[in-house]
Amino acid sequence: MHPKEFKYIKNNTGRLTHISLKNSDLFVGVDFSNHNRVNMLLSDPKNYCVILFPSENSICINEEKLKLDDKQLVVFIIDATWDSAKPMLRLSNNLHKLPKISFTHTKTSTYKFK
């Protein structure tokens, strides 16, 4: 999660995602190249790590299955505005190298604003 997102409670997609997904971790920062926990997850040979980040080269998981080969899927999600997300991915050399996945949403959100 970008520090700007963490700072403002009204921007809570990262927090909601973390609360909703068991076995999730929430990391705040901009460059995760030297982040111990992130690098530990990336270096574990039992993990198949990807990053949720739409691009021309991303694997659309609606259309294509990931080849996990009995590994545990670890998905990194960047919570930031597009202007902040792109530099976060560029600066985080360890995440930048990961395969990118994307999806096409098929449901309407039930999230309500007060």
Q: Which residues of 2-12 are buried (b: 16+ CB within 10 A; e: fewer)?
A: beebbeeeebe
pTM: 0.79
Beta strands in 1-114 (DSSP E): 47-52, 59-60, 72-77, 100-102
The answer to whether 30 and 78 are in contact (CB under 8 A) is no
* Per-residue model confidence (pLDDT) at position 94: 93
Mean pLDDT for 77-106 is 86
pLDDT in tens, 45-87: 999 999 998 888 999 999 999 999 999 999 998 877 767 788 8
CA 70 to chain centre: 21
**Strands lying side by side in the sheet with 47-52:** 59-60, 100-102, 47-52, 72-77
What's the rounded mean pLDDT across residues 23-27? 83
Residue 30, pLDDT score: 81
